[in-house]
Amino acid sequence: MSSAAQDAQFSCSRRSFLKGAAVVTATTAAGALLAACGSSDEVAQVAAAEIPVGGAYIMDRWIVSQPTEGQFVAFSRVCPHAQGDINKLGEFEGKKVAICAKHGSEFDITTGEVLSGPSRVGMSGAKSVAVKGDQVEITG
Ligand code: FES
């Protein structure tokens, strides 16, 4: 397990953690995916330092970007077109994009907007993104 994954923290109270039987699944070098406490929401964390200003970082379930310093947004990797995996970063007409592996739709990493189809719908945003210390916490 990486040190980043070992640094993952539960956002739940001890009581809700015990009730919800949260499970830790460390699956990336810099992030950890945590089952949320007693709800269907999942919480993932990544070190803010992994996300470049003006760029993005791809996690297990999320594409996390930092449009301006200290501002973070996250979008699901599940493509709205046909549930392909949005798993690459690139550029399209001067904008940084996330690219779906299945049919090649390209999405603006800062807004989630579709820039190139076949998808007609943008990426789904996370329910919340919060900075906690040196970590970015994504709930969705
Ligand atoms: S599933 Fe992503 S573009 Fe078709």
CB atoms near residue 28 (< 10 Å)? 17
Distance from first CA to last CA of the chain, Å, rounded? 24
Which mutation among 75, 86, 102 tests ligand 1's pocket best, with the greatest number of atoms within 8 A of CB?
102
- What tens digit of pLDDT does each residue of 26-40 get? 334 344 444 445 567
Distance 1 CA to ligand 1 centre (A): 32
Q: Say if ligand 1 is within 6 A of residue 81 CB.
A: yes
**Is the pLDDT reported for residue 2 higher than 50?**
no
Distance 105 CA to ligand 1 centre (A): 6
| Entry pTM | 0.74
Read off the pLDDT of each residue in 61-83 and give the average, rounded to a whole number.
98
How far is Cα 57 from Cα 109, in angstroms, rounded to an integer?
A: 10
Q: Whose CA is nearest to atom 4 of ligand 1?
A: 103
- What tens digit of pLDDT does each residue of 79-136 get? 999 999 999 999 999 999 999 999 999 999 999 999 999 999 999 999 999 999 999 9
Distance 98 CA to ligand 1 centre (A): 12
Q: Say if ligand 1 is within 6 A of residue 80 CB.
A: no
Give the model's confidence band at 8: pLDDT under 50 very low, under 70 low, under 90 confident, else very high: very low
DSSP assignment letter at 111:
T
**Is the pLDDT reported for residue 49 higher than 80?**
yes
Closest CA relative to residue 112, chosen from 60, 61, 42, 65: 65
**Is the pLDDT reported for residue 55 higher than 80?**
yes
**Is the pLDDT reported for residue 139 higher than 90?**
yes
Q: What are phi and psi of 100, to 5 degrees?
A: -80, 135
